[in-house]
Every structure is written in C-alpha cells, then in structure tokens.
A and B are shown apart, each in its own frame.
Chain A
Amino acid sequence: MRQFSRKKFIIFIILGIFAIPLVGYIYQWIKKKLLHVPILGEIKSASYKVGHLLWNTPFKKTDRIHEVNVVIIGSGISGLSAANELFKKGESNFVILELEPTAGGNARNGENVAGKYPFGAHYLPLPSLEMKELIDFLKEIDVIESFSENGLPIYNEQYLCAAPEDRLYIHGHWQSGIVPNFGLAEDDKKQIRRFQSEMKRLKHVKGSDGLYAFSLPLKNSSKDKTYANLDAISMEHYLRKEGYTSTYLYWYVNYCCKDDFGTSTEDTSAWAGLHYFCSRRGVAANSEEHDQLTWPEGNAWLMEKLKQPIASNIRVGNLAYEVNKKGERYEVVSLDTITGNVEQWNCANIIFACPQFVIGHIRTNIAELKNRSYDAFHYSSWMVGNLLVKNNLIEKGGAPLSWDNVIYNSPALGYINSNAQYVQRHQPEINLTYYYAFDEKQMSRKKLLQTSHAELTHMMLNDLKQVYSDIEGSIIRYDAFIWGHAMIKPQVGFIWGEEKRKALTPILGSIYFAHTDLSGISIFEEAFYQGITAATAVLKKGNASN
C-alpha cells in the first residue's frame, strides 16, 4: 500500500503541475472563444498596387489635353512645398497630380470619435534660426506668433508639444524622459552623459568651410572630410570606435535611428545617425530647446496649411504613368484611378515629387530618365497603427501617460497619445498611435503587406500588454496603416554618395526631382526644402528665358 500511495502521490503532483497551466489555458481559451469579440478595424496602405497594375497597360490616346507650365507629380510635403513656392512667386499655371484620393503623402491623417490622428509623420522639431524659409512659413501660418526682443520666436503654445512630453518603460517602471536612467549602473549613466555632451559639442562644431558639421537642410552641412567621412562607417561602428560599451546607450541610439529612419544602428551611416542628434539648434522664447511642434493629426496640420493656397491646382486620384518628350515640351499622361479617364498634360517643366522607386516604373521616351539608376535607394517599411481606446487604461507606476511613450527593448517604437494636444478636460476615448519600423530580416515588405489585421493586432497587443495588462477590455478599434516604402534608408555611403547626387541632378534643364528620398533622410524639413529648391530652379529658368 505504501508503494502504491507513493506512486499515486507522484502522479498527483505531476498532474497538479500540468493542471495549473491547463486551467489557465482553458480559462484563456474560454475567454478567447466564447467571450472574445475580435478587435475591429481595417488595414490601409498606399495605393502603389494601383500603379503596379497600370504600369503594364499600354498608353491610351486621349483628347483631354491641358496646357500648363509645370506639372508636379506627387502632393507630399515636397510637392506641396514646390507648388507653394511657385504660387508665391507668381507662377500659378501648374498642376499637381496625386495618385491617392487625398493629398499629403506621408503626412496624411485619419479621424474618429476621439479626434484626429496621423497616418504617418507626426511632429516637427523646432527649426534652427538659420532655416529662414521655414521660420517665415511658420510665421505666416501663425505657428510663430511673434519674436521676442532678442529675436527668439514666440510659438503658439497650443502647437508646442504638451507636457508631459515623453516617458520610458524600463525595469518595470515608467521613468520620465526616454534616455534610459531608471535602475542603471553608474557606469552606464556615465557613458550616456559622455555621449550626450559629445553630441552637444558636435551640434555647434563647424568644418573648415565655415559651415556647421550637421545642418538642416542637410545640403547646407559642411563638406569637410573630418565629418563627411563619417558617412563611410555605420553608427554602430562609430559607437564602438568611440569606446562605448553600455547596452543602454546602444539601445537608445538604436531606438533613435529606428524612430527617425526606420533603420538599426548597423544599417545607418554614422553621419546620418549623428545628424539626428546634432543638426537641431532650434530655439524659442517660450520653450525648451529640443521641443517639438505637434498636432493631434500630426504633420497633416502643416500639410493642410501648405495645401490651402494651391488646393485648386491639385488633381487627386490621378496616377502619372507616362512621360514623353515632344519637341521642346513634355506630355505627362495621367489616369484617374476611379473613373478610368486618361488625361494629358502638356508642359514645359516637370517636378517629380514622388519616390524614386516609382519613377523607375513610369513609361517614358526620355533616355536620361530611363537610364537613372535606383540601385542605391532602399526603403524601410512601417506600420502606423491607431488604437482607439476608452480612456480608462490602468497605468503602471511612475510617470503618467505622456505624448510619447516608449517601451525599453520592445521591437516597436512605442506609441503617441494623439489626444495630448487637445485641451478638452474630459476625453472619454483617446487615440494611441503605435509606431513600428520593420527589420527587413524579420519581416520582409512582401510578408508585411500580406499580414492580416488579426496578426497585426496580435503583434501590437503582445507588445502593449507589457504596460497595460488589461488593455483588451479598453480597445474600441485598431486601424493599421502599412507603409511598404515608408522611408529612405540612410545606409553607409548613401547620403554623400555618387548615386544620390546623380539622381538629384535635373534632366534636360527642365525635369527636376524633389523628394525626401533624395535627401537620404525622411523628414519634413528636407521635403520642405526639396520643394523650394526645385521650384526656385523652375522659376530661375523662366526668368532667364523671359
């Protein structure tokens, strides 16, 4: 009997050990199958698929022919900024062709019961005073209200990022600020401080040509080899070379590279990585130095301001799919993606304000255009998910919900509280906009575009459950925007490389290129200046021929 009881006892224990997870599993299963309602929402993405289909269809003759001076292809920030510049200087004989049903490109937005939220770009750091054109624009649209006695801009405080600005979930606690600090050993903190003071130094350092080492727009940076040569090594290499070892510092720098470019430190050139830390010298009379401008709808707010004066020149839902030279002029052929109507735009100048990988597909009889090389242009892919939740999430200890909320060591980039800029006291629902830049090795573009809504939701939930164990009960819906070609990758050698320089060079003195991928860095400021530069060249040519 004793023997038997011991055996039984052991069996009992083993059963018990299995029973605990089993009970848990059954509970989860019941909850999932019986009580679980799938999370609502949809996937949106850029309509390049439309393009892929149509680039193979042959040219249709059309009698809808328009005569304009300039055709701008693409109504992202680059295209809109070019159009604004033309308009401001008295040239209004132009058209903007935009493939999507609304203008704005990466700076578009959505809206739901909780308010507006970005599909992509969401903020603009305070610009340095050298960026005169941008400062002027911000003044024009009342983002800058006036200037203080010592010449510092006074910003409209509703557009400055609301406090509390950012926080990091690390070691089971929300610390305020995203530079790791909570629970770090003294040596890690020391390395982070060293890195920060080095960045501060590089921010104000100038090359032998008298230009800042790192500037915005990027083309105004010093060409001094001491700095330009940093484009030949990766950011990871730079950190190692400088003797940094702290894993927290590596995480932080990697996070910043991913957040700004969608690339890891290994895949980012050291020049680009440093540019992120050292090019922003923005100041204000009524804000901290590294503050940012932001709106619930993100940069779509700025986009609307750029769009407003020239809105009637935009043809949305029109894919530019063929460009031919006829004598001294060009014929741009576009297709209305809804009606199927084909239209022809005869013009003297073209500004390509669309990504380079698109231009590669456009049918053309122009050899110079056909022969452009796109081999060096690589793009990261992103998911921007918008989580509409009831405003009853239970927060873990530490800093309260902030505008930007980052989780240490998460595969994603954290989430923005898109409602932070609203001044309403009572917000029963809020939009948390969740950013995820994909590593090509883990999730190829193709696979990403095929991933179902349920899987994308699952990915997001797995991540956010670290900080909200009970989040499912609060979710109303989750809409994900998939950007297959979200941002150009500033890989080693790209920014100061030959390929990019060639791609930027106008063709035949009348075809211009303006897009952030030609900067190597996808940010509003670059798009803004790309547009101005192209428009200025068009205008200059016009003046010369008059």
Chain B
Amino acid sequence: MDNTLHKRRLTKSTLLLLSVFVIATCGLIYELVAGTLASYLLGDSITQFSTIIGTYLFAMGIGSYLSRYLNKNLIVWFIQIELLVGLIGGFSSTLLFLVFDQVVYFRVILYAIVSLTGMFVGLEIPILMRILKEEFEFKDLVSEVFTFDYIGALLASLIFPLFFVPHVGLIRTSLFFGIINTAVALWVIYTFKNQVKYIRSLISVAWLVFLLMLTCFVLADYIQQYTESIAYHDKIIISKSSPYQRIVVTNSKNELRLYINGNLQFSTLDEYRYHESLVHPIMANAIDRDTVLIMGGGDGMAVRELLKYPDVKKIILVDLDPEMTKLFKSHPALSKLNNHSFSDSRVEIINDDAFIWALNQKNTFSTIIIDFPDPSNFSLGKLYSSTFYNRLYQLLKPNGCTVIQSTSPYFAPLSFWCVNATLKKSGFNTLPYHTYIPSFGEWGYIIGYKESFNQAQSYPKDLKYISPILFDQMCFFSKDMSERPVEINRLNNQVLVQYFDQEWSKFVQ
C-alpha cells in the first residue's frame, strides 16, 4: 500500500476517534450542567441527577436504534449531528437560565435538552463505527470506539466539578464545550472535504454556529445579568450594586417596586400602608416632636410621613448605604415617591453603621423609628439583639417612644414575639401591633416605651390608611398570631435568625 495514502487514512480515523472522545466528554458535561441547574432550581439533587442521567442513557438507546435508518452519506450525517450536539448543548445552560423562574417550562426544556443530546450522542457512535468499519477489524473497532467514549466520560466527570463549576461558571462551561464540539466538527469537515457533499453549506453553518457561541462566550456576563433581571418579571428601571447591597427598582403599568438583594422592600401600590402604620402611632401623640431619629429607612418614605408634622425641627436618618440615600434623594422618579423629603433642610442623612453609630452617640431622643431589613442573617440579627436594645434604651428619653418593624407575626410568629421579648428584657414596655399590607401579607411592629404610651385620638389630615379605630384593631392578635414562649435574642445565641430562617423557609421556595 502506498505510504502516503496509508498515513492520510490513519489521521482520518484517529481524528474520528478523537471526535468520539470529544463528543463523549461534551455530552456528559451537558448532562452535568443540566443536573446542576435542576438541583439549584428544583432542589433534591439526588432525584434530579438520577432522572437526568437515566433520561440521557435512555435517549442514547433511542439514538442507537434510529441509526439504522441512516444509510447514505454517513459522514455528512456525522458532521451535522456533531454540530447539532454542539449547538444544543452549548446553549443549554443559557436557555435553562432564561426559563429559570418558570418551573413548568423549565422541566419541559430541561428534559428536551437532555433527550436531544442523549439521542444525538447515541446516533453518533454507531454511525462512526460504520464509517470506520473498513479501517479496522471489528473487535478492534468496538474496543477503540468505546475506550474513547469512556475515557471522555471520565474526563468530563472530573473536570466539571473540579475546574469548570468553580472557575468558569455554568453558562460559560456549556458554551465552552459547545465551541470545542463545533471546532472538532470543523476539523472533520476540512479533513473530509473531498468526500463530503453539500460542503459549502456545511462549512458556513459550522462557522456560523462557532462564531455565535464564541460571541456568547465573551458576552456571558451580560447574559447572566439579563437572565437575572427577568426573574423580576417587570421592567428594571434601576439596577445598582453598592458595596453593601444590590438595589433594583422595577416598573410595571401602575407600580414601582424596590428590591434589595432580591427581597421586596416596597411596592408603590401599598407602601403608604406600611409607612403610615410605622410612623404615625408613635408620632401622632408624641409629647416632644423636636428631633426624630430614624435608623434604616434609606428610601425616605418614613421621613415623608414625619414631615407631615409641622413641629418637627430635625430628622436624623442613619442608613448604611450612601448609594441608597443618594438614589432616593436625586433620582427623579424615586425622590418623587418620598415627596423629595431628603431635600428638606430639616433632614440630616448620616451614612454609617447603625450599631456603631448608636454605640458612639451621646444625645438622647424622644422618638426613634427603626426600620431595618428583616433578621435574615447573623449580621442583621445583631441589630435585633438585647445588646442593641439596651443601647436603644439609653438613647431614648424617659418620656420617649420607639417603634420597630418586626417582620410578620403571621408568617413568623416566633420571630415577631422574640423581638418583643428581647425589647422587654432590655427594659422596655411594649405594645405590639400589626396590619395587612397586600404586597407583604400580615406585617408587625412593636412600640417600646419607658413610662407610658397614649394612643392618639386623631392623626394628621392627609393620611390614606391609619385612623384611631384602625389602630385599636391593629393591637388585637388573633390566636394564629398570638404571643408564644420564645428565647431572648442575644449576640451570643442569635436565636432570632434561627427562628426567622425556620419560619420563612416554610413559605418561600
């Protein structure tokens, strides 16, 4: 046999074997990506991984079966299938991210992707064996093809968790393997140029797919951001990451919503309910309204309510995040919401850590409004601790009152009553109350005072929600929200964070 001919054939068969290896690696990677994403979204990783692997293997069987119906132009089929595997697999994670918030579609698309890749990989191996059957003796052929197949699987299962998930991220991982897949297909095309029909169209399709994936690979960060943004349903009008938190404002037909780290803070449809209930019960009847202290509340809504009292001379607002207060001071749409309250000369904004500020503060106040985020982690739990409330007690004048937003007594009764018990432990007399806010559900507040608290007989005129009669009702707790025995929340036990976590995990998926 002519030596050069011999050589060329050999490179061709080696190349085809190499592509088995690549297909096997890529195929398994796509399954792992699918399994990982499914476990993120649907939980229960054992079920997700076993059903996905099962489906994948079964689909491979279908593919193998179908291969008998392909008889002509085997090499063209081989290339086309390789391109398809690359295309579907490469975009699988992007696609899955896009339907991430739609659980029903997610399942359909997930299993469709898994079945298709499984089927194509299943088709590919028999076809390849038939292409190569002239070059090898049968026993060698079977052994070589499957060896490459299995080595590819091993490689995939090792590099995926060790390198790709931690260093590359899911979107880029699948695109990367899609690109490799296509690159090998291109190589095969150019090598078999002379044997292949429709060569022009194959080449252009392959390059198109290749470039498309390369572009997406480069722009993966934007894709990630976009897929995140559609989780909010509505149009995002502001999205800012400060060193402290991620602030997102969405806009739909008739409302604006503010999210911090993905948690809803208010909806313009009903935020007045929340803020009127927070501010007016202790303000309307306050003995001395000269100076008011607010901790948290960087959206300025509580300040807006405070400015309804003409005798307020000074409002000090302590909020951690300058980005947040700046936004609500100068963004036209947002500052309109709080009635430009941050531009009022009576308002002083201090961007500082509330705990540290409180520890260093020398003045005392007769009204203190506390509107911190819910105690969902240990660093926030500290702001609901007995140590913080002891300090709060010292900051409050003897005839003063404070009010604390205290999460939901319906969804999280232990948490709510834990705040109450901790306030009492720090010396406060307390008056818990709650009200219904459509976008939050049943919500709770606690008034803390030293000497006495008298309910107001009247409220400022221009309120939409609260009234003396309503406040009476707010103070009544039905049995499903009633007081229960709880521990005190201390820095050294942080029970509140544990209560909160247990209680809300029942309601949030």
Contacts and interface: CB of A to CB of B under 8 A. Distances in A.
Q: Which of A13, A400, A426 has the largest count of B CB atoms less than 10 A from its CB? A: A426
Given A163-B492, A394-B166, 11 more contacts: A13-B151, A157-B490, A158-B491, A162-B494, A163-B378, A286-B488, A288-B492, A423-B356, A423-B382, A425-B379, A427-B379
A110 interface: no
Q: Which of A158, A287, A394 has the largest count of B CB atoms less than 10 A from its CB? A: A158
Interface residues of A, number: 32
Contacts of B378: 162-164, 400
A1 B387 contact: no
Contacts of A6: 140
Contacts of B320: 425-426
B14 interface: yes
A5 B491 contact: no
Interface string B372-394: 00000011101101111000000
B198 to A, nearest CB: 30
Given A13-B147, A20-B155, A157-B385, A1 B1 contact: yes
Given A20-B155, A428-B243, A157 B353 contact: no
Nearest to A286: B490
A161 B492 contact: yes
Nearest to B495: A163
Contacts of B243: 426, 428
B362 interface: no
Contacts of B136: 2, 5
Shortest 10 CB-CB contacts between residues of A and residues of B: A160-B492, A163-B494, A423-B355, A425-B379, A157-B387, A157-B491, A424-B353, A423-B382, A163-B493, A157-B490
Interface of A: 1-2, 5-6, 8-9, 12-13, 16, 20, 157-158, 160-165, 286-288, 291, 394, 400, 423-428, 469-470
Interface in B133-152: 135-137, 140, 144, 147, 151
Contacts of A160: 490-492
A425 B353 contact: yes
Contacts of B140: 2, 5-6, 9
A295 to B, nearest CB: 13
Interface in B376-425: 378-380, 382-383, 385-388
Interface of B: 1, 6, 10, 13-14, 135-137, 140, 144, 147, 151, 155, 166-167, 243-244, 320, 353-356, 359, 378-380, 382-383, 385-388, 488, 490-494
Q: Which of B135, B147, B378, B494 has the largest count of A CB atoms less than 10 A from its CB? A: B378
A5 B17 CA distance: 12
12 contacts: A5-B136, A5-B140, A157-B492, A158-B491, A162-B492, A164-B378, A164-B494, A394-B166, A423-B359, A424-B379, A426-B379, A427-B379
Nearest to A4: B10
B494 A425 contact: no
Nearest to A420: B378
Contact of A5 (B10, B167, B490): B10
A163 B151 contact: no
A459 B13 CA distance: 48
Contacts of B144: 9
Contacts of B387: 157-158, 423
A157 B155 contact: no
A9 B377 CA distance: 57
Contacts of A16: 151
A286 B244 CA distance: 32
A265 B244 CA distance: 46
Contacts of B13: 5
